[in-house]
């Protein structure tokens, strides 16, 4: 049975649907972990996307945490998709990628959509969820000085006081510029057991982190401190892939250059850019990068669940 629509924040009644199990867990102070859906709809090949969507929820549940995968079904943003919703988003035709600015059009036109980190973080926060795990955050694209292509993930996190677990940002991006923007936007960044900022496929993207934590409990203390100060931005917990599991850095450099050339040649812009680049990397590495992507995502879901438990406890 579908949960009743709920009036969330300043939105019209029924505009956002929060699943009963999620609403109850939030109200009772039980741990809840938000998960995005663009990784499923636009990041992973079928049928793997559906397996990953369901497996990740199971992993979170096994950790004693209520999973809330977020996406748009028939125009309605849903916080806490059920298995049928996830199946629909992973298999239907015409599922779009929705960042925050796309939510009104998706609603008006009754579209199905995977939500990006930006849209997911906003919806999760509106529903009272405090922790969110993703694979890799969006950021400033290479060449942004010309194109202005900066992911809406960054300003969205500046306005959502939650904790986001991510393996840094994707190495397809301009990592230095992204770190500068994170600083400008007041987003707290901590490395999880590392001094180095991770680059999704690789444990070290070539930059340091401003601070580090050694445990989920320490990350939770940083989040509580943010709350105590009344600051409006997210805390980003940068959780690197284990070095033994990362994409070989030389191979990584090679396919990255290839992907950037291909995007340039194809004239790809806007919201197609990230999925296009990731797809080229996936094909050029013969699926190796896909396995890394999944290992990263699982690791972030595990750590996010731990932090959610610490914050609830």
Q: Which residues bind ligand PSU (CB under 6 A)?
A: 36, 38-39, 42-43, 99, 116-117, 135-136, 138, 151-153, 271, 274-275, 278, 293
Of these partners, ligand PSU, Mn ion, none, which one is at the site of residue 152 (CB under 5 to 8 Å by kind)? Answer: ligand PSU
**Nearer of residues 33 and 117 to ligand PSU, judged by Cβ:** 117
Q: What distance in Å separates the CA atoms of residue 130 and residue 266, rounded to the nearest whole number?
A: 39
Among 85, 149, 153, 306, binds Mn ion (CB under 5 A): 149
- Give the C-alpha distances (Å, rounded to integers) separating 198 from 85, 110, 117, 158: 32, 37, 17, 20
Dump strand ranges (E) for 209-247.
Answer: 212-213, 235-238
Q: Is 152 annotated as a binding residue?
A: yes
Nearer to ligand PSU, 303 or 312 (CB): 303
Rounded CA gap, 283 and 57, in Å? 27
Backbone phi and psi for residue 36, each to the nearest 5 degrees, phi listed first: -85, 170
Q: Is 149 labelled a binding residue?
A: yes
Determine whether 310 is an active site residue: no
CB 154 within 8 A of CB 182: yes
Residue with Cβ nearer ligand PSU (151 or 246) = 151
Question: Which residue from 238, 259, 96, 114 is spatially nearest to 173, judged by alpha carbons?
Answer: 259
Residue 278 binds: one of ligand PSU, Mn ion, none (C-beta under 5 to 8 A by kind): ligand PSU
CA 293, CA 39: separation in Å to the nearest integer? 10
| Binds 77: which of Mn ion, ligand PSU, none (CB < 5-8 Å by kind) | none
Q: How far is the CB of 110 from ligand PSU (least distance, A)?
A: 22
Instruction: State which residue, 101 or 254, has the beta carbon closest to Mn ion.
Output: 101
Nearest approach in angstroms of CB 305 to ligand PSU is 19
One-character DSSP codes across 39-96: IIIIIS-TTHHHHHHHHHHHHHHHTT-EEEEEEEETTEEEES--HHHHHHHHH-TTPE
222 is an annotated ligand-binding site residue? no
Residue 153 interacting with Mn ion (CB under 5 A) = no
Q: Could you give the C-alpha distances from 10 to 16, 27, 122, 136, in angstroms and in order? A: 10, 18, 12, 29
Nearest approach, Cβ of 234 to ligand PSU (angstroms)? 13
* Partner that binds at residue 38, options ligand PSU, Mn ion, none, CB closer than 5 to 8 Å by kind: ligand PSU
Shortest distance, position 42 Cβ to ligand PSU, whole Å: 5
Catalytic residue among 170, 218, 306, 310: 170
102: helix, strand or coil: helix
Bridge partner list, 168 = 199
Token pair for residue 230?
């009344």
112 is in an annotated binding site: no
- Terminus-to-terminus CA distance in the chain, angstroms? 31
Partner touching 36 among ligand PSU, Mn ion, none, CB below 5 to 8 Å by kind? ligand PSU
User: Of all residues in this chain, which one has the CB nearest to Mn ion in the complex?
Assistant: 149
Answer with the entry of ligand PSU, Mn ion, none that 116 interacts with (C-beta below 5 to 8 A by kind). ligand PSU
Question: Could you tell me the smallest distance in angstroms from the CB atom of residue 220 to ligand PSU?
Answer: 23
- Kindly state the smallest distance separating residue 311's Cβ from Mn ion, in Å: 31
Prior bond to 47 cis, omega within 30? yes
Would you list which residues are annotated within the binding site for Mn(2+)? 149
Active site residues: 36, 170
Residues near Mn ion, by CB under 5 A = 149
């Amino acid at each position: 049975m579908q949960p009743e629509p709920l009036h969330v924040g300043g939105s019209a009644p029924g505009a956002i649907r929060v699943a009963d199990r999620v609403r109850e867990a939030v109200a009772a102070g039980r741990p809840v972990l938000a998960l995005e859906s663009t990784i499923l709809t636009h990041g992973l090949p079928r049928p793997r996307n559906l397996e990953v969507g369901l497996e990740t929820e199971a992993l979170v549940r096994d950790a004693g945490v209520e999973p809330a995968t977020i996406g748009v079904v028939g125009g309605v943003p849903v916080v806490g998709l059920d298995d049928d919703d996830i199946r629909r988003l992973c298999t239907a035709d015409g599922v779009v990628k929705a960042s925050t600015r796309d939510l009104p059009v998706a609603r008006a036109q009754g579209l199905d959509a995977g939500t990006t980190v930006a849209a997911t973080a906003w919806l999760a926060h509106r529903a009272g969820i405090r922790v969110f795990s993703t694979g890799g955050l969006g950021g400033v694209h290479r060449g942004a000085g010309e194109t202005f292509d900066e992911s809406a993930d960054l300003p969205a996190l500046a306005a959502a006081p939650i904790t986001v677990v991510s393996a840094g940002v994707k190495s397809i991006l301009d990592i230095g510029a992204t770190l500068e923007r994170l600083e400008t936007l007041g987003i707290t960044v901590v490395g999880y057991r590392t001094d180095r900022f991770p680059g999704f496929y690789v444990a070290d993207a070539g930059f340091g982190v401003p601070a580090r934590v050694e445990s989920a409990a320490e990350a939770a203390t940083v989040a509580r401190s943010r709350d105590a100060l009344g600051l409006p931005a997210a805390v980003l917990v940068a959780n690197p892939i284990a070095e033994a599991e990362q994409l070989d850095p030389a191979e990584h450099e090679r396919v990255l250059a290839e992907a950037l050339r291909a995007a340039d040649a194809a004239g790809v812009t806007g919201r197609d850019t990230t999925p296009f680049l990731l797809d080229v990397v996936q094909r050029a590495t013969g699926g190796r990068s896909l396995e890394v992507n999944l290992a990263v995502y699982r690791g972030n879901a595990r750590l996010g669940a731990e932090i959610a438990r610490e914050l609830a406890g």
